[in-house]
């Protein structure tokens, strides 16, 4: 799968590509590519943004520069491109990312393209005419789309075969179908007792069916709002 990121700060992704699960996915043939709209600007000083019509603070990414950048990468009118490929504007007000949205994106055989905003964000015509989706990683505002793009790439890549060490790791985890959409159950490891805090007996029992029942119940409990932690 091709995960393409349009960003003014492509070097941020050098670190991301070095991470083990990302490397695994890339060795398996998946790609995380970055493109800088600045490389496609023919304005002076390779300008990519401008002041907002109507006034106000900040700078807005220009629609003509984004078109050139998308045409440069895909050799296609971006208005047509979005009919064939998920081109996603990262924006705080977009569709909030959840496991179902990640599954949808991971199923995109063509690959996906993530557009990172900066400053005030995008000229709205970029979103309206070049994008198939908007995506928010949560209802708060980051300085730019790069971290949001990494969140999306990370979540999508872990869904792809080969990127995780253990084949089952992504099957039975929080919000998966296997857990009926509930959060995952608690895990414990050695020591079996620490400062008087004991691992639940059932997990040491070796009874697989009982362990399964216990885990399912804990998972459901968490789905129902979980328990409040002390402090």
Q: Which residues bind ligand SAM (CB under 6 A)?
A: 90-93, 116-118, 120-122, 136-138, 140-145, 148
| Closer residue to ligand SAM (CB): 61 or 164 | 61
| Shortest reach from residue 73's CB to ligand SAM, in Å | 18
| Closer residue to ligand SAM (CB): 144 or 223 | 144
| Closer residue to ligand SAM (CB): 93 or 161 | 93
Spatial separation of the C-alpha atoms in residues 119 and 138, rounded to whole Å? 18
Closest-approach residue to ligand SAM (CB) = 117
| Shortest reach from residue 156's CB to ligand SAM, in Å | 15
| Shortest reach from residue 171's CB to ligand SAM, in Å | 27
Q: What is the DSSP string of 89-150?
A: EEEEEEEEP-HHHHHHHHT-TT-EEEEPPBTT-B-HHHHHHH-SEEEESSSS--SBSHHHHH
| Closer residue to ligand SAM (CB): 3 or 179 | 3
- Map tokens 């003014």 to a residue: 8
| Shortest reach from residue 124's CB to ligand SAM, in Å | 11
| Shortest reach from residue 66's CB to ligand SAM, in Å | 12
| Closer residue to ligand SAM (CB): 143 or 167 | 143
């Amino acid at each position: 799968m091709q995960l393409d990121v349009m960003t003014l700060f492509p070097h941020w992704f050098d670190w991301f590509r070095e991470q083990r699960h990302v490397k695994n996915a890339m060795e398996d043939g998946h790609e995380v590519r970055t493109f800088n709209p600045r490389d496609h600007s023919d304005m002076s000083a390779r300008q990519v943004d401008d002041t907002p019509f109507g006034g106000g603070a900040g700078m807005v990414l220009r629609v003509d520069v984004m078109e050139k950048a998308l045409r440069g990468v895909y050799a296609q009118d971006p208005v047509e491109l979005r009919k064939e490929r998920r081109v996603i504007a990262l924006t705080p007000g977009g569709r909030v990312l959840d496991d179902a949205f990640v599954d949808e994106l991971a199923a995109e055989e063509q690959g996906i393209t993530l557009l990172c905003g900066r400053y005030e964000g995008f000229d709205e015509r970029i979103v309206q005419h070049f994008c198939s989706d908007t995506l928010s990683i949560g209802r708060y505002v980051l300085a730019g789309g790069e971290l949001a793009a990494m969140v999306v790439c990370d979540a999508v890549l872990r869904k792809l075969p080969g990127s995780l060490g253990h084949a089952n790791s992504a099957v039975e985890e929080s919000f998966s179908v296997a857990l009926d959409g509930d959060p995952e159950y608690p895990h414990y490891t050695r020591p079996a007792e620490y400062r008087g805090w004991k691992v639940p007996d059932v997990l040491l029992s070796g009874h697989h069916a009982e362990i399964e029942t216990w885990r399912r119940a804990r998972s459901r409990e968490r789905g129902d709002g979980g328990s409040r932690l002390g402090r």
